[in-house]
């Protein structure tokens, strides 16, 4: 990888999982576009895969924010029946079809890599060709809230379980890698660890954060805004705030990178 952003012939963009906090990824993309930076290769997990797909599809910043504003997270008639998970993930298919009518990786303007988890084999799966929507749904199907997605008789779930920051998919193809990690695991209070579910969530969050943070530091340019800690992972009221935080952090990071390149 090349640390000089102005001489980069190809840029890779890596977007982590992290729920509503992933709107910070859209802020990063806005800051990139304002500075004339376009990624050639995009890799994402969970919400990062969704934002990455919209970006690779050529959607505007406004379209991206609207997608998350319009997509109902907890719609009563989406509740799962006879499926593991509270929400039937595949009920979102038609919403996604409105944004990705051709439903294929090949129809995108940029090469996209989507991380998901094969629940049966217990291993990571990377999708980059063929049908698009089901891999996107699978990558964002956070257990136990959302039901796994069946693709070729295999059940897939949230990519963040196995690889929340899939930098490996783009780093060999790019000479400059930009990374955005929104899976922030900040400090909690004792009262936030009162039961087994809270404890399990905390431990899982710390493990995911540790792995993502380590790989983020290997990127040529990275953002990891600590202010995102205050935004709940499924709090739709935090969409605009997370977007603004991401934009502010990314603008400063890009300004620094461009200044270093000019020296």
* Catalytically annotated residue among 16, 45, 46, 251: 46
CB proximity list for 15: less than 8 A, separation 6 or greater: 22, 25, 42, 43, 44, 45, 47, 48, 49, 51, 52, 179, 180
**What does the alpha-carbon distance between residue 214 and residue 146 come to, in Å, rounded to a whole number?**
28
**What does the alpha-carbon distance between residue 75 and residue 179 come to, in Å, rounded to a whole number?**
32
* Catalytically annotated residue among 88, 139, 147, 158: 158
- CB atoms near residue 55 (< 10 Å): 27
E strand or H helix at 161? none
CB proximity list for 52: less than 8 A, separation 6 or greater: 13, 15, 25, 42, 43, 44, 112, 114
Asked if 51 contacts 29 with a C-beta cutoff of 8 angstroms, the reply is yes
- Whether residue 158 lies in the annotated active site: yes
Catalytic residue annotation: 46, 158
């Amino acid at each position: 990888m090349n640390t000089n952003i102005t001489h980069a012939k190809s840029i890779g963009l890596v977007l982590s999982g992290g729920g509503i906090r992933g709107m910070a990824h859209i802020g990063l993309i806005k800051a990139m576009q304002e500075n004339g930076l376009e990624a050639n290769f995009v890799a994402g997990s969970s919400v990062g895969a969704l934002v990455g797909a919209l970006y690779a599809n050529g959607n505007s910043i406004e379209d991206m924010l609207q997608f998350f504003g319009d997509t109902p997270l907890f719609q009563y008639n989406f509740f799962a029946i006879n499926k593991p998970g509270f929400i039937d993930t595949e009920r979102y298919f038609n919403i996604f079809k409105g944004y990705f009518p051709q439903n294929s990786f090949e129809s995108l303007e940029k090469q996209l890599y989507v991380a998901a988890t094969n629940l049966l084999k217990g291993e990571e799966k990377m999708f980059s060709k063929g049908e698009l929507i089901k891999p996107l749904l699978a990558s964002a199907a956070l257990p136990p809230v959302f039901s796994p997605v069946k693709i070729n008789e295999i059940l897939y779930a949230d990519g963040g379980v196995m690889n929340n920051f899939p930098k490996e998919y783009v780093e060999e193809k790019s000479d400059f890698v930009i990374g955005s990690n929104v899976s922030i695991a900040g400090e909690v209070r004792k009262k936030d660890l009162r039961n087994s579910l809270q404890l399990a969530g905390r431990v899982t969050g710390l493990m995911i954060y540790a792995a993502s943070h380590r790989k983020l530091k290997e990127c040529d340019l990275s953002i990891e805004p600590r202010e995102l800690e205050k935004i709940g992972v499924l709090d739709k009221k935090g969409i605009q705030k997370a977007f603004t935080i991401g934009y502010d952090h990314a603008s400063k990071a890009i300004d620094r990178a461009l200044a270093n390149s000019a020296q």
